[in-house]
Amino acid sequence: MDTAVAVEVAGASGNAGAPQVVASRAVVRRLLRRPAATAGVVVVAMFVAMAIFAPWIAPYDPIATSFSTVRKAPSALHWFGTDEIGRDVLSRIVFGARASLLAGVVSVLISLAVGVPIGLLAGYAGGKTDVLISRITDAMLACPFLILAIALAAFLGPSLTNAMIAIGISATPVFIRLTRGTTLAVKAEDYVLAARAIGNGPLRIAVRHVLPNIVAPLLVQATLAIAAAVIAEASLSFLGLGQQPPQPSWGSMLNVAKNYIDNAPWMAIWPGLSIFLLVLSFNLVGDGLRDALDPRHL
């Protein structure tokens, strides 16, 4: 998880002096002006559509086995070939988009849902609460992300849901740090001090003054985190801890495919390529968002 981004962006918004509420339409326009980011948005949208309309797009049932068509090379009947128990790889890729997108998005939503409130609390309350939260966050960050995710997934049991929870929890510290940093920067601003002076409660201040400021960096970090979460799910599945058969997920397809790499390479190529494209697109969108939202980089 890219903690350095948080430091950099928080610093940027910290010295602006005024709330960074940028009109969303202007942001979208700036985003789409860059071809790379546009390409990213288009590809992500394609994958989302693929996931939603999977039953209509996939030519075969993704879990229908056929013992006579085991590991057949790509052909007119099976565009991407078949896998180790005769299932159509293309159909599994299409349905697998659901697992990968879910894994990416839900994990990050969990991180946000847990990390942002805690970060707000730490930044706003300060004192002993802040110290405690910071120490725990530092502790979590000090453990290598994947190790933490593996341990959590092993604890919860191998399944896609548990993998999402494990990744989500492992990614939370980054969002705590980011939120806390921005909260601290905003807390000292004059308009916040003024708001407190006239008696606004902390919740109101948090919602009206702090949150709008962190939407931008959070959005950027979240998009990049989705990319990392998709890879994390693939990694956990590679170790046998993610989506379990017969349900398809690109990561678990790769886990099986590695055993057939020299006699059925198509089993590994398509899921790997799909992960690559999806993650690349999210990264491009995230980068584009960061450029669009941060006036200094324009």
Partner 1 sequence: MGTYLIRRIAQIVPTLLFVSILIFGLQQLLPGDPAKVLAGEEQDPAVIAHLRETMHLDEPFPIRYLYWLRGVLHGDLGESLRMQQPVRALIADKLPVTIELACIAIVIALAIGIPAGVISAVRRGTGWDYGANVVALWGLSTPNFWLGIMLILLFSVTLGWLPASGYVSPREDWRANLAAMIMPAFVLGNAIAAVLMRHTRSAMLQVLSSDYVRTARAKGVKERDVVLKHALRNALIPIITLGALEFGTLLSGAVLTEQVFTIPGFGKLIVDAVFNRDYAVVQGVVLFTATAYILLNLIADVAYAIVNPRIRVH
Partner 2 sequence: MDQRIRCFLTAVACLLAAGASAQTLRIGLAEDPDVLDPTLARSFVGRIVFASLCDKLFDIDDKLNIVPQLASGYEWSADNKALTIKLRQGVTFHDGEKMDAAAVKYSLERHKTMAGSNRRGELAPLASVDVVDPATVRLNLSAPFSPLLAQLADRAGMIVSPKAAEAAGDKFGAKPVCAGPFRFVERVAQDRIVLERYANYWDKDAVHFDRVVFLPIPDPTVRLANLRSGQLDFVERLAASDVPQVKSDARFKLTKITEIGYQGITINVGKSDLAQKNPLGRDPRVREALELALDRDGIVQVAMDGEADPGNQWVAPSNAFYAKSSPIPRRNVERAKALLKEAGVANPSFTLMTATTGDAQRIAQVVQAMAREAGFDVKIQSTEFATSLDMADKGQFEAYVLAWSGRADPDGNIFSFDACKQPLNYAGYCKPEVDDLLKRSRTTLDLAERRKLYADIAAIVLKDRPIVYLYHRHWLWAYTGKLDGVQAIPDGLVRVKGARFK
Beta-bridge mates of residue 82: 88
Cα distance between residue 138 and residue 43, in whole Å:
36
* In the complex, least distance from residue 239 CB atom to partner 2, rounded to whole angstroms: 8
| Partner touching 101 among partner 1, partner 2, none, CB below 5 to 8 Å by kind | none
Cα distance between residue 149 and residue 155, in whole Å:
10
Cα distance between residue 96 and residue 86, in whole Å:
16
Binder among 5, 165, 171, 241 for partner 2 (CB under 8 A)? 241
What are phi and psi for residue 32, nearest 5 degrees?
A: -75, -10
* In the complex, least distance from residue 108 CB atom to partner 1, rounded to whole angstroms: 16
Residues near partner 1, by CB under 8 A: 1-5, 7-8, 11, 14-15, 34-36, 134-136, 138-147, 150-152, 154-155, 157, 181, 184, 188, 227-228, 231, 234-235, 238-239, 251, 254, 258, 261-262, 265, 268, 272, 275-277, 279-280, 283-284, 287, 296-297
Q: Which is nearer to partner 2, 133 or 267 (CB)?
A: 267
Q: Which of positions 13-52 make contact with partner 2 (CB under 8 A)?
A: none
Q: Which of positions 101-160 make contact with partner 2 (CB under 8 A)?
A: 154, 157-159
Burial grade of 296 (CB within 10 A; 0-12, 13-18, 19 or more): exposed
Cα distance between residue 47 and residue 103, in whole Å:
14
User: CA nearest 137: which of 99, 111, 178, 176?
Assistant: 176
DSSP 206: I
Binder among 19, 34, 36, 71 for partner 2 (CB under 8 A)? 71
* In the complex, least distance from residue 59 CB atom to partner 1, rounded to whole angstroms: 25
* In the complex, least distance from residue 89 CB atom to partner 1, rounded to whole angstroms: 15
* In the complex, least distance from residue 152 CB atom to partner 1, rounded to whole angstroms: 7
Cα distance between residue 110 and residue 107, in whole Å:
5
DSSP 297: G
DSSP string of 230-269, one letter each residue: HHHHHHHHHTT-SSPTTS--HHHHHHHHGGGTTT-THHHH
Coil, helix or strand for 82? strand
Please, what sign has the CA dihedral across residues 148, 149, 150, 154?
positive
Using the rule CB under 8 A, is 283 a contact of partner 2?
Answer: no
Using the rule CB under 8 A, is 256 a contact of partner 2?
Answer: yes
Q: Which of positions 82-101 make contact with partner 2 (CB under 8 A)?
A: 84-86
Q: Which is nearer to partner 2, 15 or 263 (CB)?
A: 263
* In the complex, least distance from residue 198 CB atom to partner 1, rounded to whole angstroms: 24
Interface residue list for partner 2 (CB under 8 A): 65, 67, 70-71, 84-86, 154, 157-159, 240-241, 244-246, 255-256, 258-264
